[in-house]
Amino acid sequence: MFAAVSHDFGKAVSTVIENGRIISHGHEETGLPLAESFLSSIDAPNEIREVVVPLVRYHMVRNPKPDDRWIRRMAIKVAPATLQELATLITADHFGRPPKPRIVPVEAAKMRERAQELKVDQQAPKPMLQGRHLIASGMKPGSRMGEVLKAAFEAQINGEFADEQGAGKWLDAQLQLQPSTKHPNEIS
């Protein structure tokens, strides 16, 4: 509700008339401090602010052909808000533009549908590989471990693996670069 109320605050400072058309380019960014100020003025709890701000920032995002990688990345960008909430806000924003027909925008519908299939509609993906898995493989804590964990999450987001078995195989391939390290095929 607060995202719906505050998502267009930026139009107050970014609206111009170009070639006879009213345009508000960048209002999603210019509206962030205004939305934050509004939430502060009504003493909204931090849990609400943390959800509203990314929804305001990304309410103009459009991708007519969202691939899995894009969906996962968007889920991370809007967190702790959800893609379900973002799709709802995009739809509400679209419905508030009469005389346009009240039809769910294709982009929002596709994003919602694919996010549900990927199981990232209610929360952002979490890393499958963690430090404990690398320690179990014989890796010592340190900067290399951080690099591998970062690369693992990037590979997961890119769709290089989608389950623990795939994560184990991915890790095996990475550890091939360090021949002295042994790793079980599956992580636990």
Rg (C-alpha) for the chain, rounded Å, is 21
Task: State residue 102's pLDDT score.
Answer: 86
The proportion of the chain whose per-residue pLDDT surpasses 70, expressed as a percent, equals 94
Q: Where along the chain do its domains lie? A: 2-118, 131-175
Burial of residue 55 (number of CB atoms within 10 Å: 0-12, 13-18, 19+): buried
Mapped onto helix, strand or coil, the DSSP state of residue 179 is coil
User: How many other C-beta atoms can be found within 10 angstroms of the C-beta atom of residue 114?
Assistant: 18
How many residues are present in the chain? Answer: 188
Torsion angles phi and psi, residue 78, rounded to 5: -85, -15
Distance CA 112, CA 121 (A): 7
**Least confident among 86-100, 138-152, 174-188:** 174-188
Task: State residue 188's pLDDT score.
Answer: 42
Per-residue pLDDT band for 180 (boundaries 50, 70, 90) equals: very low
**Least confident among 78-87, 113-122, 134-143:** 134-143
